[in-house]
Structure formats: C-alpha cells, structure tokens
Chains A and B, each alone.
Chain A
Amino acid sequence: MFKLAKIIILFTLLLLSNILLAKGVPAGTQIVNVAELTYKVGTSDFNTTSNTLVDVVDQVLDLEIICQDSNPVIVQSGKSQRALTFRVSNIGNGTDKFALTQETNSTSDFTVNNPSIYIDTNANGVFDTAVDQQINDINLTADTNATLFFVSDMPSGNFASGSQSANGIEARSTISGSGIPGTAIDLGSYFAVDGIRGGVDSDLCVYELSTVNVVLDKSATLSSDKLFTGTIIHYKIEVKVEGSGSVDNVVVKDTIPTGTSYVTNSIKLDSVSLSDNGHISGTFIMVPVGNMTQSDVHTVEFDVKVY
C-alpha cells in the first residue's frame, strides 16, 4: 500500500510540470524508441540493435467551462425556461465523460426555480425548448466542445429592477475529477491524471430582473402565392416594450434565411431607408434602435429574394 502511494506521489510530481500542456498526442499512444549500433573490431564489422523502448502516453483530464453571456441576461419576474449559455470544452488528450450539476451563487438577489441543464442539440447557439435535450452528463472527445444551457424559471413577486442571480454549471470528469491536480488513476494500459483544474471546472452567468421587456413581432409577406425562385419575401420586425421603465441600446439583429439573398437597399427603420453599409453583414442584418421606453414602437423592414 505504501509502495503504491509512493509510486502515485512520484508520478504526480513527474506530471505536475506538464499538465498545463494538455491536448497533444492522444492518450494510449505508444512512443517507441530504438537505437542501432555499428562498430568495428579489428577489420571486422558488427551491428546490433537496442531493446525496443515503449512509453505509453497518459490521459490528462482537463476541461474548461465558460459562460458565453458577456452581459447579464435580462429576464422578467414569473417567466419560465430562461436560458444562460455556457461552452464546455475537453482540453485533455482523451475522451472523457463529464458529470454536469447546477450551481447557484448563494449571494444572489433571488433564487431561480426548476433549474436544469440542456445541450444545444441543433448547435444553433440558441435555447430551443422543443429541440434541445436535457442532460446530466456529456461525453466529449479530446479537443471538442459543446454548448450547454442552464435553464430555469424566474420567481414571481416584486423584485427590484436590476436584481441579479448568478447561476451556472459544474462539469466534473467521471474518470477521476478529484479536484486535486496530478491525482492519477490507473486505467490498466495507462494512467489518467487530473489536470491543472483537478478534472473539474465551473462557471456562472447572471440573470438580471427587469420590469421592462422588449418584445419582437416578426411577420413575412411574399411577392407570390408560393415560394418560387425569384420570390421576394418582405420581412417586418416590430419592436416594442412591455412593463415599466426603459431599455438602453436596443439593437435588432436577424439572420438572412438560407436559400435567399438580401435585396440591396431594402433595409428600413420606421419606414426610413437605411444604408446597407453598417447594417448588412454577410448573413444577417443589424439595426440599432436606441433607447426605448414603454410607449415606444419601432419597425425594421427588409427584403430577401429566393434563389
């Protein structure tokens, strides 16, 4: 037992200086070294070969989970299934299964209800209730990542506008995930070693309650009865504010649908034409609307052509 502990400690020391450099050669890879020797004795030539030295690459268990919402996610009291976005990455050098648990900061202004974790099944970066799947763990191969959502219901009641609640996800390697960097697990043909984070990582995003809510109402009108090549689709997005208070720096952003192309100079804000420059970028439109209060309504319009 003492010998085993000694080996593990030695091995830990051996690896600590390297575990920052995860990724790289896959775990289990054999590194083979052979040397050849030729020499002379008198006039006779000889040759021989060394033993075949095989070192097996160990698995570094390392991961990273990062909140993708750079600003607090604005929510309204009583609303259900509001999502915070995270990205979990396997930055080790082997496949790992990470157990996922919800985390809540106890110093938050309010506590959310029914928290759960979903994976972005269709990889569109947006939480889709009907599509994305609820999960408790995730299997990731080396150097891959996935988008996760922390989804919960907002409490009802009178909370001050600006109240915040920090919530997030902890991901832990199911191979070890001890939390102690350098901890080694014997997997038989090689070891698995907890990386610099100890095989576990977590992060928080923030909900912020607002008494105002920005509502988008999008409609489409076709230039023909059915969609044909050449059909013009006129999109109209109405932006309005519900509740009380004001919202700053509202920007309307929409994606130009696949199979269509934007019709030049068709972008408008409140029936006034805008320059394409600065409002059209590749596959989406982006129109700054500015600050809005309860009584404000703005309309963004643009056309696309089916090809």
Chain B
Amino acid sequence: MKKLLTVSAIALAMMTMTAQAEVTISSQSYQKVVKKKKAKWVKAAKVVPGSVVRYINTLKNKGKETAQNLVVVNAVPEHMEYINGTAVCQSKCNVTYSVDGGKTFDKPKKLFVGKGKKRHRAKASEYTTIMWVVDKLKGGKKTVVEYKARLQ
C-alpha cells in the first residue's frame, strides 16, 4: 500500500510539472507607417495590394520548466509573398524554408522548384512555409519569431 502511494505521488508530481511547462504561441500582424519622417510598426487590421506585413509570433513559457527544441511552423498566407531574409528570431534559432507546402524544409541554397529545364533555385517569393527551431525557452520567459511578406 505504501509503495502504491509512493508511485501515485511521483505520477502526480510529473503531471504537475507537465502542467507548469505550458508554452503558448500568439500571432499578430503589423504594418509600417511613417509619421513625421519616423517609421513605426502598428497593428494591421487591413491591408492593400503591395502592403508589407510583418507577422510576429510570440512564444510564452507560462510554466516553470525549460521548454526545449521549440519548432514553429508558419505557412506563408495565400496571396502573400515572403520577403527574402526577413524570417528572424529574438533568441538563438535555426531558420529553414519549404517550397512544397511544409513537407520538407531546407536552407535557401538547397531549395529548387520546377521540373526539367524550368527547374531553378527557389525565389523567396516561392517559399510556402517557414520553420524556426529555437533551442530552449526558460520558464516564465518569452521570445519571438517573425517574418515579413508582401500582399500580391
């Protein structure tokens, strides 16, 4: 009976630890405005063709434990074109891209599209999905990954 109680206590402790390691992700779009010659990013509720939109994904670790190997996958929205070199992270991370809807990811130099004579190295505007891999996020901390895209 004592042994059973001990096992139950360990399981409860693990469940508690798991509940504390809750990481959330929220997405928000921004557009640049220029006011009095100063550029500023403000929340974008609506866009027009040609608009550059900055998408910021905020990761918050609401638990106490450190989360590791945080992988964020963000499909570039339909009608938008990814802008080269804009996928970045606030903390140390690795960024790769997909040109097949997120089935495979790689660095830009290894991404190709088209068949036969039309096969060419993918332009940034042809990327379909972006993946950020963040090493770790300590409990109670937050970080962001972001990219910019242009509305067709």
Contact = CB atoms under 8 A, between A and B. Distances in A.
A46 B66 CA distance: 13
Contacts of B50: 18-22, 24
B46 A190 contact: yes
Interface in A1-42: 10-11, 13-15, 17-25, 29, 31-42
Interface string B57-80: 101000101111111111101111
A205 B72 CA distance: 59
A220 B100 CA distance: 64
B47 A17 contact: no
B38 to A, nearest CB: 11
B26 A50 contact: yes
Contacts, number: 141
B89 to A, nearest CB: 13
Nearest to A195: B48
B21 A31 contact: no
B11 interface: no
A50 B146 CA distance: 13
Contacts of B91: none
Nearest to A7: B45
A53 B77 CA distance: 10
Interface residues of B, number: 47
Given A14-B31, A18-B48, A46-B21, A35 B72 contact: yes
B113 interface: no
B118 interface: no
Interface of B: 17-18, 21, 23-29, 31-35, 42, 44-51, 53, 55, 57, 59, 63, 65-75, 77-80, 137, 151-152
Interface of A: 10-11, 13-15, 17-25, 29, 31-42, 44, 46, 48-51, 53, 55-58, 60, 93, 190-191, 193
Given A31-B47, A32-B78, A35-B57, 12 more contacts: A17-B32, A18-B50, A22-B48, A23-B49, A31-B53, A33-B55, A33-B74, A36-B73, A36-B74, A39-B137, A51-B26, A56-B46
